[in-house]
Amino acid sequence: MKKKLLCCALLAGMSMAQSVMAQSYDDRFYVTAGGGVGFFDNDRAVSDDVYGTLGFGKFVSPNISIDAELWHSNPDLNKSAIIGSGNSTEVAERNWELMSLAIVGRYHFISEGRSWNPYVSLGLGAQEHHDGTQIQPLALGLNKSRVGTNGMASLGIGFQKNMGYAKLRGEVGVRVDMDDGYNGTSYYTDGYAGFSFVLPIGELAAPPPPPPPPPAKTCADLDDDGDGVNNCNDKCPGSQAGQAIGPDGCPVPLTIDLKGVNFDFDKATLRPDAVAILDEAISILGKYPDLKVEVAGHTDSIGTDEYNQKLSERRATTVYDYLTGHGIEAGRLVGPIGYGESKPIAPNTNEDGSDNPEGRAKNRRTELNVQN
C-alpha cells in the first residue's frame, strides 16, 4: 500500500509541474534501469554486494529531474563476522534482503553545448528489510527473519551523459536506513556506486516554428526626414526639423494666428482680450521648440507713413517683450519689425472712399510669421 501511495504522489506532482511550466527542454517521461555495488554498514555483518534499480521520472525544469526509484539488494552473509557455534544456535535461513522505494530529486548543472553534466541527488522514501544475519535460537524448528519497514534517505553526486536517444548516469553516494537493529543499532549507513540508463518514452515534441519575418517595408512605411509625410508622397525629402510641412512634404509659409491681438487706435499697449491669444501662441511655440518666428507689427492707414512705421514697431515690441517675458528665448524671435501700413489684410476704406472702421481695426495687428 505504501508503495502505491508513493507512486501516485509522484505522478500527481509531475503532472501538475508539467501543466504550469513552459517547457524549453526534453520534458518526456522516462524509465531508468541500472545497478552497481553496495558498500554495506559493518553492523549488518554482510559482504559488499551488487544491487539493482528500476525507476520512472521526468525533468520538471531545465535543471531538475524527479524520479521514483525501486532499489533492491540481497547481500551474502559475512560468516567471518558471526561469533559462536553449537547445537543451541543456527544461522537463519536467509541473509539481509533490502528493498526501497524513494522519490529522488536531482539538480543538474547544465552547461550549453556539453554532452555530460554533473548533478547532486537527494532521495527520501521507505526501505523494507528481511534480516536473517543474526544467530537466533531455534523455536519449534522454525527460524524466521526479522522483517520491517523504515524510513530511508540518500545523498549522492553523479553525472548524466547524453548518448543520443538514451542517457547514461553514474552516481556514488550514501544511503541511511533508519532501522533500529540489534545490539543498540539505531540506523545503518550504506554506500553505493553504480550506473543506470535513462530511456525516454515517446517522441520528442517538435520545437515551435519561428515567428514569420515582418513584412518588407515599402516607401509608404518610411519617413526618412521625419516630417510626418511618407517617402512615397514626400516631394521634398530634405526638409528640416521644425519646418511647417504641407501634405506633399514641402515647407509651407506659416503664420501663427494671432487673431484678436489687435490694438486700439493710436495705441501700442495690449488689450485684456489679447493676453489669452498670446498665451496660446506661447503654448504653440513650446510644443515646437525648433520654430523660429518673426514678430511683425502693422497699422491702419490713418496717419503719416513715418508715424505709422514707428507705431507698428512699438506694437511689435510690445508682443516681443511679452513673449520673452514668458519663457520664449529671444534667439527664436526675429525682430521686432514694424511694417507700418504697407501690408493691410483688410480694406481701410470702402469702395466709395468712405472710412471702413472694421477693416482698419483688423489692420492694427501684430503677427508671428514662421521663418523655418
CB contact set of 256 (below 8 Å; sequence gap of 6+): 281, 284, 285, 293, 367, 368, 369, 370
More confident: 187 or 142: 187
For the ranges 8-22, 83-97, 191-205, 302-316, the lowest mean pLDDT is seen at: 8-22
pLDDT at 192 over 80: yes
Beta-carbon neighbour count of residue 147 at 10 Å?
Answer: 11
Q: What is the percent of the chain with per-residue pLDDT over 90, rounded to a whole number?
A: 30
What does the pLDDT read at residue 109?
96
Q: What is the arithmetic mean of pLDDT over 317-332?
A: 89
- Give me the residue label for grid cell 509651407: 252
Cα separation, 131 vs 302, in Å, equals 128
Cα separation, 306 vs 313, in Å, equals 11
Average model confidence (pLDDT) for the chain? Answer: 80
What does the pLDDT read at residue 279?
85
pLDDT at 236 over 60: yes
pLDDT at 201 over 90: yes
Q: Is the pTM of this model over 0.75?
A: no
Helices 272-287 and 305-325, axial angle in degrees (round to 10): 60
pLDDT at 16 over 90: no
Beta strands in the chain (DSSP E): 30-39, 49-59, 64-73, 90-91, 97-108, 116-131, 135-136, 146-163, 166-177, 188-200, 255-256, 293-297, 333-338, 366-370
Beta bridge partners of 99: 72, 128
What does the pLDDT read at residue 257?
57
Superfamily of domain 238-370 in CATH is OmpA-like domain (3.30.1330.60)
Strands 49-59 and 30-39: antiparallel
Q: Do domains 2-78+89-200 and 238-370 have the same CATH topology?
A: no
What does the pLDDT read at residue 22?
39
Using pLDDT thresholds of 50, 70 and 90, give the confidence band for residue 178: very high
More confident: 80 or 174: 174
135-173 pLDDT, tens digit per residue, is 444 444 444 667 889 999 999 999 999 998 899 999 999
What does the pLDDT read at residue 19?
39
pLDDT at 225 over 90: no
Beta-carbon neighbour count of residue 1 at 10 Å?
Answer: 5
CATH domain 2-78+89-200 topology? Porin (2.40.160)
The domain locations on the chain are 2-78+89-200, 238-370
pLDDT at 121 over 50: yes
CB contact set of 247 (below 8 Å; sequence gap of 6+): 229, 233
What does the pLDDT read at residue 18?
41
For the ranges 79-88, 190-199, 321-330, the lowest mean pLDDT is seen at: 79-88
